[in-house]
Chains A and B, each alone.
Chain A
Amino acid sequence: MPPMTARCHIEIDDRAVEATRGQSVLEALHTHGVVVPALCHHPGLSCPATCRSCVVQVEGQGGSRMVTACNHTVAEGMIIRTEDSESRSLRSRALAEMVQRHAMECPICPASGECELQEAIGGHGPQAQAHELAGSSERVALGARLHFEAGRCIQCSRCARFEQEVSGAGQVGIKGRGPQIEITTGPAGVDHPLSGNLVDLCPAGALVDPASTVAAPAWTLRSVDTTCGSCATGCAVRADVDSAGQVTRLRPRLDSDVNDWWMCDEGRFGFDQELEGRLRLPEPATPDEETAWHVAVDRLRRRMAQPRSAVWLSPFLTLEEASVLIDAATTWGARLFLWSVEDRGEMSFPGGFRISGSRAPNTTGVGRLREAGETSVGTTKDLQTAIGEDQVGQLLMCGGGPAGVRPRLDRSGVSFLATHNLVSYEKADLVLPASHWLEKDGTFVNDRQQLRRVRPARAPMAGQTDLELFLQLAGREPTSAAEIFRELASRHEWLEGSSHAQLDANQRTHPQGVAAGGAWVDTLQRQGLLVIEDPAR
């Protein structure tokens, strides 16, 4: 709660409200549920105030003026009007100008349904004659997952500012002058690791992901808020799921402590290779045949209860999963080791965004369980040494990472090997299918010690989740991840006061929606016209 001095009293459409000093008029309006279009403005970028579609009337010292809400700040006693006929007609005019040459192809545009321009026109735009000089769109490929539809561009310059301020790559700029301005790229197109954000940023469907043109329309998707498991940054993301239950795309959610409005292309586009890959294990298997879950669980418990057993924990496990597996190992008397994934070096960007060097999402979390646990947990090197000294007869090796991230371990001498993985790339005596992070319910701790909430966007492909498996291995009754987290929080000081419910509340979507693109869906939701089902809520 900011101190009282940071507040000021303003009036919005004859309603007396409080605002925060230094806040823009646009922010104050949004806070109080008043929507005006703001097409060049993006809260994560500088504010050029050039689209002029957020014009409102402001009365303050020096009389009444028409100002752009995005770049004027509130002041004590300010009276803001958005509903008067003058400011309504000016906003409508600005929008009419903007769409005069905008290619009118909403029926075939993938942005349709979550398009900021569409939303703005619907709420504030002109009634007729808007697309008077519109032509059709011409498509230019700027990158593998980025196409530019020139006819749809409204010259808002968000993409060019993103390239300067956030990615720092400067690969998109504005070219030409006057009526001819358009966006331009260097000879290499756009090939930096944050390029996917340009699609989210674009308010008019001009920058599109070619894959999305064949995907289900935005209004048929349901969304789940979760955390990206592709690296230890732990970006807040929203997973959109189509009616068949497939995750069709990931988009970043605002989390100013972690990822602001952005995410990297690897996280955004990399997930479905693992999630929907043809090589994913459908059920447990021995070298000869597939087996039923209960057969596999019984066999594993029997073997692991023998002396010289070891469990290799994976940093792709959630806190809850790792904790239950540690419990199981303890009952078996098995030694514990933790796989440390090789660090590839952190990548950071001018806007403060970073891609963690660790490709495993929960190295920190599992590591902290290890520190706090009663049993000691060894490193990969310790495990290798133990194998070399013939101290490991049975080994449960947890993986769960993407295909490119594989453990390196010489296992000669291990008589029984069970692996737990998304795909089977190793000869083992028992192979157990693992859950993808988009199928998990639980928590990660990112490399900045921040608790990140992971929630399932789809049912586990293998029929049951890692947590269910580990509970069976530990001989425990089925229970929820939230319940296990509660146990953890009571045992570990560093988790005190946290709970899934509290983390979920903190991760609630910002009023301005998922990265800009989702505003339209949010508006529909607010108006009760669209119900997003969320099985996890």
Chain B
Amino acid sequence: MEFMSFLVRRVAYSIFVLIGLSMLIFTIVRVMPGDPARLALGARATKEAVQELRDRMHLDESLPVQYYHWVKDVLQGKLGISLWTRREVSIDISRFLPATLELVLFAALIEADVRILLGVIGTRYRNTWVDNTLRVGTYFAVATPAFVVAIFLSLIFGYMLKVLPIVGRLDPSVVAPPVRTGLITVDALISGNFTAFIDALKHIIMPAIALSLGGMAQDARITRSSMSDNLLKEYIAVERAQGIPPRVINLKYLLKPSLIAPVSVLGLDIASMLGNAFMVELVFGWPGLSQYGVEAALRKDLNAVTGVVLVIGLVYLTINILVDITVAYLDPRVRLR
């Protein structure tokens, strides 16, 4: 019961924040200098055409009235026409979003596993050369921008060693699986197309690593330090005295409480992944929402920019709710608050 009310309050607050975000992005887009209608139609459009679009967008009304009309459209799924693709923005988004979700999902999976592994290794061999090498390595990994990692990876594994593909989600020679979820790896597995599955994995591995490396390094440090702190706790000493094998102590009694800190920062990590996806997708020609967003931003395609920001805000809020639930599972004390 307690948990349900915690969840309801959490979701209600997220809806409030999302409404606030929509006002924020609406204000940013509408307050900018210049006429959105003129921008949409281009310099060669006639005065009458511009005025007609101004009327349709309610641009001569006050800002709150404009917002009211805009929200009415958005709730019906109408985000406006993209100036760049000339399609309804919501259609573009539904086409590009799965690629970005797949990428961020893979990056999060890689990050969550590897950082725990690195943290455990660091604790197991603490203050030896293994630990020190890991520590120096994490400093470099944290400081390198994701897009630089992306380029260095593609330079080494794509151009020099030629073991991994550099561009796109799937090789043109491979038959694409029928679209079900939009995540190519999942679709390929559903249809039993293993060639496509392997090829999709090969394509996603480098961008996913590039996205996850910085957060992974930072969290490996957090995991290691929280494990090392817990190692000194009395309950561990008691378990040792009782003769429980070290492996069981490490994995069962040490790891779970030590995961709380790193899981609660996962939300922040995903924030940086969603941001960095803009650059990494550009490097790997990954046809995702972020690449669409950058293209839209550079072309001042304001409907598309607004749509992309709202969708990313929605994804981010949802992930944060999931993270909170996971933390509540790992740490019962959180639920009582």
Answer yes or no: do A and B interact.
Answer: no
| Chain B residues engaging chain A, CB cutoff 8 angstroms | none
